[in-house]
Amino acid sequence: MILPLTYYGNPVLRKKGALVESVTPELEEFIENMFETMEEYRGIGLAAQQVGRAIQLTVIDVRTAENRPSTLEIDGEEADPNSLMPLVLINPEVTPLNDPVIGPEGCLSFPEIYGDVTRPEQVRVKAMGGCGKPIEFVCGGLLARCVQHETDHLHGILFIDRMDRTSKTDELREDLELLQKETKAALE
């Protein structure tokens, strides 16, 4: 089932997600719906807040972004990032491992809005996976950027909060204001 997306201006996007205790059948169905929704809107990551639920759960699949490479290490061994996809992260903890790099980002909650965001290039990720078991890996490139963007969502942080100053043009500010206004009007 395709779930309705929440857009900038919807207060749920600013809510810190509650920790998920266990993967229930209801949650499994919700995860499946999140993947369907992400695919429909051609995203590479989707956080629960983006479909109206403030919990620490995100789904990721970077396989469609072929021109933006990712790296992966599991137990110190290099691995194929695609082998981890599709990826479910529950209660993720992200530790930066190296220097920040600048890169372009968008977000399904901000249609047609893009900007440069500086984030660590490589991170260690500890989380509960979709089957409820702990997972741990080190990733870089696009996957690291995506994991950080989505984990931010789970804490009510949005990419515009971290956007490079040079990306924050007057035009972008106007677009954001308009989107916020439209979202609030639609919620009334």
150 classed as catalytic: yes
Binding of Ni ion at residue 107 (CB under 5 A)? yes
* Residue closer to Ni ion, measured from CB, 90 or 107: 107
d(CA 43, CA 62): 9
* Residue closer to Ni ion, measured from CB, 99 or 146: 146
Provide, rounded to whole angstroms, the least separation between the CB of residue 66 and Ni ion.
20
Question: Which range touches Ni ion (CB under 5 A), out of 5-13, 83-91, 107-115, 138-146?
Answer: 107-115
* Residue closer to Ni ion, measured from CB, 89 or 107: 107
Using H for helix, E for strand and C for coil, what is the string for 53-87?
CCECEEEECCCCCCCCCEEEEECCEEECHHHHCCE
Provide, rounded to whole angstroms, the least separation between the CB of residue 85 and Ni ion.
18
Gyration radius of the chain's alpha carbons: 16
d(CA 97, CA 187): 40
Question: Which range touches Ni ion (CB under 5 A), out of 2-10, 78-86, 90-98, 101-109?
Answer: 101-109
Contact in structure between 72 and 80 (CB atoms under 8 Å)? yes
Annotated catalytic residues are 150
